[in-house]
Structure 1
Amino acid sequence: MKEFMSNKEALQHCIANKHFSLAHLYSDEKPLDMHIHDCYEIYYSISGGKQFLIDNRFYTIEPGDIFFINQYESHHLTQIDARIHERIVISIHPDYLSSISSAITDLGHCFTHRDTEYPHKFHLDPDLGTRFIYLIHKIAAAEGFGTDLTERSALTELMIFLNRFFNESRFLTCNQAVTTNHAQVDDILSYINQHISEDLTLEKLSEYFYLSSSYLCRIFKSTTGTTINKYITARRITIAKSLLNEGCSVTETYEKCGFNDYSNFLKAFTKAVGISPKKYAQFHS
């Protein structure tokens, strides 16, 4: 299997082919804004040194950390600097993972059965990390006759390994502290997520937290790496995708997500997801 050197290209390949892709990255490419996509993502850090904002949670990234992110969770890699940051990112289309699962073994379990109190971040000790890298190399080395079956077999083995690890680890880490560089931003994130369906404006946030608009914007951007408006929009789109998958109408969806009119919802959703909410609902019904 081809190892991509760009996470963006790997993600595009995964979505276009409804398959899976592998990116082994050493240096930083231009980071994506707070974003969501129609693929599961496994993010394994080899060198650490960065920070993840996933929905309303911050995580510092250390060597050996692994993240499970589903297709409804907005995320953004922050604290971009000059350090080399080696990591492996696997993008998997949910339909493909479902196709290689069985009636009694759901390989997407680690993405779909993480309750809200459980973290996205887990840690592979050196032995488990070695096992993970071995399975990644097994996928990457597949070539020649039967490549597709070799790739599928290796991915199946990897996902069985990761789901077993997930089930054994999640109860041990559910109380793990989420780290952040600014307690005020934690409060802001919590407030936004509790009031996401309401008319959230910078003025209202400033008034509620007794902070000037400029200071509020500055601490939020410096801590999260994204702006308040981009964060709010990304969270609303994430919720919209989930509601549309559950069968809600487009009208119900944009009202529940806090968009003040359909035109704004249509524009934001189409830009973030690549298709209109109506088409998205048709494809995922």
Structure 2
Amino acid sequence: MDTKDYEQKGYLNEDYKFFHICDNENIDIPFHYHDFDKLILILNGNVKYIIEGREYELLPFDFVLVNRFDIHKPVYEADNGQKEYDRIILYLNHEFLEKYGLLDAFHKTKEIESYVVRFPANISTKIYDGFVKIENDLKVENEEYAGKLSTRIDVLSSLIEFNKACISEELGFTQEARYNRKVIDIIEYINKNLSKDLTIERLADHFYMSKYHMMRVFKQETGYSVHQYVSEKRILYARTLIMSGTPATSACLEAGFKDYSSFSRAFKLQLGILPSEVKI
């Protein structure tokens, strides 16, 4: 499967999508986010993942969790063709996970500030076997009796096992990430205060930094300017509010925009639709 088939930004109209992908050429996808949650199992390759300012050097059988709206990018450096980047990826609709109570692992990433899980071999193998079963299901689901249902059951079974492992294996979440503590603090502050004053000057004062130094370091660590990061997070927050039934005018203010016209323009520019066109 070609990279362009899965390098998508935005929406997932199904409950889940499954990919098993191998690459042997360098990959440096730009920073981006998705409207869905993502679970990756690394099988091979010199690869690192950068998620919300944290950079992880990954090992075979590491699991990477990317929450919806988290800004992230993978970086793969080919090793003379000897270590191909081999991984299994599950795109997971947030509402699908919520419906079945399977968001615990993703919630835990936020709670303990780590996006990579490294289980004991017996647990990793059990979950991997479940993923292989899903892959085999997909090959025959249009030919077998109740094939699509069988695939769905195996997806749910694998997610149950994964969540159970994340809950019980407290030490599985690795803290081995490279990051700038100040940038992480800024990211956390922004996400907790989207309705408040988040101008460059206000943030620089709050964190006792030169605004030029803050902007330079933030861009270097996240790939986003501070202004772009704040704007995109506010739009995504407003969209979530609107989808939950909050009037667009109220969502505009709750997300930190001062007037509806600028909010509407930014919303259209980022998501391609007007706030009034969001489906509830």
Q: Which TM-score bucket, shorter chain as reference?
A: 0.7 to 0.9
Match of 2:240 in 1: 242
Calculate the TM-score normalised by the size of structure 2.
0.75
Taking only the aligned residue pairs, the percentage that are identical comes to 20
Q: By how many angstroms is 1:10 displaced? A: 6.4
CA–CA distance in 1 between the matches of 2:263 and 2:17? 30
Match of 1:117 in 2: 111
CA–CA distance in 2 between the matches of 1:279 and 1:44? 36
Q: Which of 211, 214, 230 is the aligned partner of 2:212?
A: 214
Question: Are the aligned partners of 1:25 and 1:87 in contact in 2 as well (CA < 8 Å)?
Answer: yes
AA at the equivalent of 1:158: V
Q: By how many angstroms is 1:188 displaced? A: 1.9
Question: Are the aligned partners of 1:35 and 1:272 in contact in 2 as well (CA < 8 Å)?
Answer: no
Question: Are the aligned partners of 1:11 and 1:21 in contact in 2 as well (CA < 8 Å)?
Answer: no
CA–CA distance in 1 between the matches of 2:241 and 2:205? 31
Question: Are the aligned partners of 1:236 and 1:257 in contact in 2 as well (CA < 8 Å)?
Answer: yes
For structure 1, which runs of at least 5 residues remain unmatched after alignment? none
Question: Are the aligned partners of 2:62 and 2:118 in contact in 1 as well (CA < 8 Å)?
Answer: yes
Question: Are the aligned partners of 2:22 and 2:86 in contact in 1 as well (CA < 8 Å)?
Answer: yes
Q: How does 1:197-208 map to 2 (within 5 A)?
A: 197-208=195-206
The superposition leaves residues 61-111 of structure 1 with CA deviations (integer Å, 9 ceiling, x where unpaired) of: 52222234444x322126x3634643322113356668xx7xxxx264447
Q: By how many angstroms is 1:257 displaced? A: 0.9
Q: By how many angstroms is 1:176 displaced? A: 6.3
CA–CA distance in 2 between the matches of 1:93 and 1:175? 23
Task: Please state whether the residue corresponding to 1:74 is helix, strand or coil.
Answer: coil
Q: How does 1:107-146 map to 2 (within 5 A)?
A: 108-110=102-104, 114=108, 116-118=110-112, 119-141=114-136, 142-143=139-140, 145-146=142-143
Higher relative contact order (CA 8 A, sep 6+): 1
AA at the equivalent of 2:77: A
AA at the equivalent of 1:200: L
Task: Please state whether the residue corresponding to 1:15 is helix, strand or coil.
Answer: coil
Say whether 1:158 aligns with 2:144: no
Structure 1 range deviating more: 120-129 or 171-180: 171-180
Match of 2:93 in 1: 93
Match of 2:221 in 1: 223
Question: Are the aligned partners of 1:117 and 1:174 in contact in 2 as well (CA < 8 Å)?
Answer: no
Q: Which of 66, 70, 88 is the aligned partner of 1:74?
A: 70
Task: Please state whether the residue corresponding to 1:117 is helix, strand or coil.
Answer: helix
Structure 1 range deviating more: 268-277 or 222-231: 268-277
May I ask how many residue pairs the two structures share in their alignment?
Answer: 268
Say whether 1:35 aligns with 2:45: no
CA–CA distance in 2 between the matches of 1:111 and 1:267? 35
Question: Are the aligned partners of 2:116 and 2:174 in contact in 1 as well (CA < 8 Å)?
Answer: no
AA at the equivalent of 1:88: I
Q: How does 1:249-260 map to 2 (within 5 A)?
A: 249-260=247-258
Change (3 A) 1:270 1:143: farther
Match of 1:261 in 2: 259
Q: By how many angstroms is 1:249 displaced? A: 0.9
Change (3 A) 1:181 1:18: closer
Question: Are the aligned partners of 1:139 and 1:154 in contact in 2 as well (CA < 8 Å)?
Answer: yes
For structure 2, which runs of at least 5 residues remain unmatched after alignment? 79-83
CA–CA distance in 2 between the matches of 1:147 and 1:264? 52
CA–CA distance in 2 between the matches of 1:113 and 1:185? 21
Question: Are the aligned partners of 1:14 and 1:20 in contact in 2 as well (CA < 8 Å)?
Answer: no
Q: By how many angstroms is 1:248 displaced? A: 1.0
Q: Which of 41, 54, 58 is the aligned partner of 1:58?
A: 54
Question: Are the aligned partners of 1:236 and 1:258 in contact in 2 as well (CA < 8 Å)?
Answer: yes
Change (3 A) 1:6 1:125: farther
Q: By how many angstroms is 1:44 displaced? A: 2.1
Task: Please state whether the residue corresponding to 1:220 is helix, strand or coil.
Answer: helix
Change (3 A) 1:128 1:268: farther
The superposition leaves residues 184-221 of structure 1 with CA deviations (integer Å, 9 ceiling, x where unpaired) of: 21222233233321231223223333433332122112
Q: By how many angstroms is 1:173 displaced? A: 4.9
